[in-house]
Chains A and B, each alone.
Chain A
Amino acid sequence: MTVLSDPETHTGELVMSLRGIDKNFGAVQALTAIDLDIYSGEVVALVGDNGAGKSTLVKILAGVHPQDGGTIMSGDKRVSINNPADSNGLGIATVYQDLALCDNLDVVANLFLGHELGRGTINEVEMEKRSWSLLRQLSARIPSVRIPVASLSGGQRQTVAIARSLIGEPRIVILDEPTAALGVAQTAEVLNLIERLRERGLGVVLISHNMADVQAVADRIVVLRLGRNNGEFKVADVSYEEIIAAITGASDNAVTRRAQARVDAADAAAAPAAAPATSPAGTASSEEERP
């Protein structure tokens, strides 16, 4: 089932490569021998069920937890990520699920938080100018950058959080569940944003539970299951069912059983429909006709 992608098919260069990453929290082996490659100009989706180890892997990359074993290669250099500063230094920007914005500050202040421009005093004019140019590049629709972030919609806040990750000119952007709390239109905007990150040549790691989003923007899907690699697919040549099977670990699982049950029910409904007497299908259709 595991279809490891052929490195030759990647258009971008390998910017980061994780090999045999182990991590345990006390008695729990959260990650076992995880491999992950991140290429520039490519969106790799990290999928898996709850507890599969996605967030743990991301936290290792973000410098929240150091790994217990395995190697991280940045280009051809072996590196260690012990804290968030190391992660930033390697050009990794992480957009957390809770966005981590300061509601009381305006968009400009949030974009440059911790990286304010200017010597001694803050250069607000230059920061505002660059904020606009950055937001324009992302085709982001923010009406004003001088309003508190609290007054923005969920999608706009997500945009600000993603735009902020680009301030330090990163090579890799990690997005943790960027569409989880968004509406249909806002989700589409964020997906557009992710495609623009790819066009800019960034390596994008997308964590999502939403297979529709993953299939819409990702180039490659890495499946984790119970802390282990459980398949790597090119989005172009994998079906929804195959991904689900890899996530749940079997072709016989709750999702397929449910799908099968629906098919069976439809078959059962179709079969007696041929009979002239009171058919379940007939009842169903008469119910549908009710206003």
Chain B
Amino acid sequence: MTTPTSTPSQPTPEGSPPPTETVRLAAVAADLQDERLIQPHGLGGTLRAFGKRVRSGDIGSLPVVIGLIVIWVAFSLLNPNFLSSTNLVNLTLQCAAVGTISIGIVLVLLLGEIDLSVGSVSGLAAAILAVSFVNLDWPLPVSLLAALLAGVVVGLLYGFLYTRFGVPSFVITLAGLLGFLGLQLWVLGSTGSINIPFDSWIVQFAQQTFLPDWLSYVLVVLTALAYAGQLFLTANRRTAAGLSAVPVTSIIVRSVFLLLVLGVPTWYLNQTRGVGAMFLLFLILVVVMNFFLTRTRWGRSVYAVGGNVEAARRSGINVTRIYVTVFVLCSTFAALGGILAAGRLAAANQGSGGGDTNLNAIAAAVIGGASLFGGRGSAFSALLGILVIQSISSGLTLLNLDSSIRYMITGAVLLLAVIVDSLSRRTRVSHGRA
């Protein structure tokens, strides 16, 4: 944007040229010049803009946050122990394993695909870990690597079948659900259940390792600072490029909000055992996957393939590579979740990864806001969704309700989440935000 060179000190006989459009526009950031753009002014404006977005179906993670609050209030009224620090520490530990599996589910959902076999794959990984470590006396790192590698191989197989033969992922992974359950039972052998020694590193990590209080607070503060710093840098770069930027006050407000959202629960958990190492690992995985999804070409390609495969293909994206990497990541996250679950249980058995693991992982991703139609969702969907699922599960357990009731309620919540997804999709379409 160039400014005219004429100076007011040298008026031309015809009169100085009127201030041109360019002068007026130069003061406005390049992205705010269209007069049709509705710009929020101040805090009230920001809130109104948010309300408008919600009404047009761009609800993001709002329903799940509201749902979580409702669930917590309801259960704490029914049983005051629900919101006790002890129970919440347990809750975080229960979240980690299935939540890790759920990150992988979010990835396949972003492509508009599904993986129904994550439970079996996690069970298979647990079995490989236990058998190789306990029965075959492999060193623990080698066993862990072997278990993760099993996940990689399963993902490669799915990716190959999907991209080569075009079989729907639903069917491939349904076959995998059965096939890898069989493989899990075969690996476990006749005993059917193998205990992992309590003094082994993996069990210690999953059951007994908690962050020291000081370290947890340091991490919270560092995270908030990193968030603020990153917002600040982006704002500076945008201003330098002549684009609109987030004002400093907004950056401070957001960072303080994040500090509270992280700090208060940390303080509360620290009243008893504190923040579990396994839960921290899960949080780190979520943040790392969020980074890859939003900041890298690979992540952009994942969203593009989920939005419009043909458009992605024509713009030169290697669609096959995207499908294969996502299937591999999903199965590997499933294997890692299986390892964490085995560590927490200190055993691998025929029931590892069975029961509701599969559907909990998928339900968590969907409840957290990953759309079944592809192209929508974020890594944080896994975190929010698994908190909802495990809160329900933990609350119902505290109420001494039978697992039959638990299944029915979890099923109803999943159904509700899918209905919300479909409804908000319909609203988005009618408001042109699909």
Nearest 3 pairs of A and B residues by beta carbon: A114-B315, A102-B307, A151-B432
Residues of B294-341 contacting chain A, CB below 8 A: 295-297, 300-301, 303-304, 306-308, 310-312, 314-317
Cβ of A103 under 8 Å from chain B: yes
CA distance A145 to B241 in the complex (A): 15
Q: Which of A33-41, A120-128, A184-192, A212-220 contacts B (4 or more CB under 8 A)?
A: A120-128
Pairwise interchain contact B308-A101, C-beta atoms closer than 8 A: yes
Cβ of A263 under 8 Å from chain B: no
The residue in B238, B242, B315, B434 that gathers the most chain A C-beta atoms within 10 A of its C-beta is B315
Which A residues touch B36, using CB under 8 A? 143
Residues of A138-160 contacting chain B, CB below 8 A: 141-148, 150-152
B33 CB to nearest A CB, Å:
9
Cβ of A115 under 8 Å from chain B: yes
Which A residues touch B317, using CB under 8 A? 113-114
Which B residues touch A126, using CB under 8 A? 241
Cβ of A100 under 8 Å from chain B: yes
Pairwise interchain contact A129-B312, C-beta atoms closer than 8 A: no
Which B residues touch A145, using CB under 8 A? 31
Which A residues touch B243, using CB under 8 A? 125, 128-129, 132
Cβ of A109 under 8 Å from chain B: yes
Q: Do A128 and B31 form a contact, CB below 8 Å, given A105-B303, A116-B297?
A: yes
Known: A102-B311, A125-B241. 15 other contacts (CB 8 A): A100-B315, A102-B375, A105-B307, A109-B303, A115-B316, A128-B31, A128-B238, A129-B30, A129-B241, A129-B242, A129-B243, A132-B30, A147-B433, A150-B432, A151-B433
A285 CB to nearest B CB, Å:
47
Contact of B315 among A113, A120, A143, A147 (CB under 8 A): A113
Cβ of A85 under 8 Å from chain B: yes
Cβ of B37 under 8 Å from chain A: yes
CA distance A146 to B316 in the complex (A): 22
Beta-carbon nearest neighbor of A96 in chain B: B314
Cβ of A84 under 8 Å from chain B: yes
CA distance A132 to B25 in the complex (A): 13
Pairwise interchain contact B375-A121, C-beta atoms closer than 8 A: no
A118 CB to nearest B CB, Å:
9
Cβ of A56 under 8 Å from chain B: no
CA distance A132 to B31 in the complex (A): 7
CA distance A154 to B234 in the complex (A): 32
A73 CB to nearest B CB, Å:
24
Q: Do A103 and B307 form a contact, CB below 8 Å, given A115-B316, A144-B31, A144-B34?
A: yes
Beta-carbon nearest neighbor of B432 in chain A: A151
B82 CB to nearest A CB, Å:
37
Beta-carbon nearest neighbor of B375 in chain A: A104
Q: Do A104 and B311 form a contact, CB below 8 Å, given A143-B37, A144-B37?
A: no
Contact of A125 among B238, B307, B311, B433 (CB under 8 A): B238
CA distance A128 to B240 in the complex (A): 12
Which B residues touch A88, using CB under 8 A? 316
B70 CB to nearest A CB, Å:
29
CA distance A81 to B243 in the complex (A): 40
Beta-carbon nearest neighbor of A109 in chain B: B300
CA distance A129 to B312 in the complex (A): 23
Cβ of B254 under 8 Å from chain A: no
Beta-carbon nearest neighbor of B235 in chain A: A125
> Chain B, 419-434, contact with A by CB distance < 8 Å: what is the 0/1 string?
0000000001101111
Pairwise interchain contact A105-B304, C-beta atoms closer than 8 A: yes
CA distance A125 to B231 in the complex (A): 13
Contact of A100 among B31, B311, B376, B431 (CB under 8 A): B311
Pairwise interchain contact B310-A113, C-beta atoms closer than 8 A: no
The residue in A102, A147, A151 that gathers the most chain B C-beta atoms within 10 A of its C-beta is A102
Question: Can you spell out 20 A-B residue pairs with CB atoms less than 8 angstroms apart?
Answer: A98-B310, A99-B311, A100-B310, A101-B311, A103-B375, A105-B304, A109-B303, A114-B315, A114-B317, A121-B296, A125-B241, A125-B243, A126-B241, A128-B31, A129-B243, A132-B31, A143-B34, A143-B36, A144-B37, A148-B434
> Chain B, 125-154, contact with A by CB distance < 8 Å: what is the 0/1 string?
000000000000000000000000000000
Cβ of B237 under 8 Å from chain A: yes
Which B residues touch A102, using CB under 8 A? 303-304, 307-308, 311-312, 375
B373 CB to nearest A CB, Å:
9
CA distance A114 to B316 in the complex (A): 6
B37 CB to nearest A CB, Å:
5
Which B residues touch A133, using CB under 8 A? 30
Which B residues touch A113, using CB under 8 A? 300, 304, 311-312, 315, 317
Contact of B295 among A109, A122, A129 (CB under 8 A): A122
Residues of B259-313 contacting chain A, CB below 8 A: 295-297, 300-301, 303-304, 306-308, 310-312
CA distance A128 to B36 in the complex (A): 19
Which B residues touch A114, using CB under 8 A? 301, 304, 312, 315-317
CA distance A109 to B296 in the complex (A): 12
A134 CB to nearest B CB, Å:
12
CA distance A4 to B160 in the complex (A): 52
Beta-carbon nearest neighbor of A85 in chain B: B316
The residue in A104, A121, A148, A150 that gathers the most chain B C-beta atoms within 10 A of its C-beta is A104
Pairwise interchain contact A103-B434, C-beta atoms closer than 8 A: yes
Beta-carbon nearest neighbor of A129 in chain B: B241
CA distance A216 to B133 in the complex (A): 76
Residues of B328-372 contacting chain A, CB below 8 A: none
Pairwise interchain contact A84-B433, C-beta atoms closer than 8 A: no
Beta-carbon nearest neighbor of A120 in chain B: B296
A165 CB to nearest B CB, Å:
10
A177 CB to nearest B CB, Å:
16
CA distance A121 to B30 in the complex (A): 23
Residues of A57-97 contacting chain B, CB below 8 A: 84-85, 88, 96
Which A residues touch B31, using CB under 8 A? 128, 132, 144-146
Which A residues touch B310, using CB under 8 A? 98, 100
A154 CB to nearest B CB, Å:
11
A31 CB to nearest B CB, Å:
22
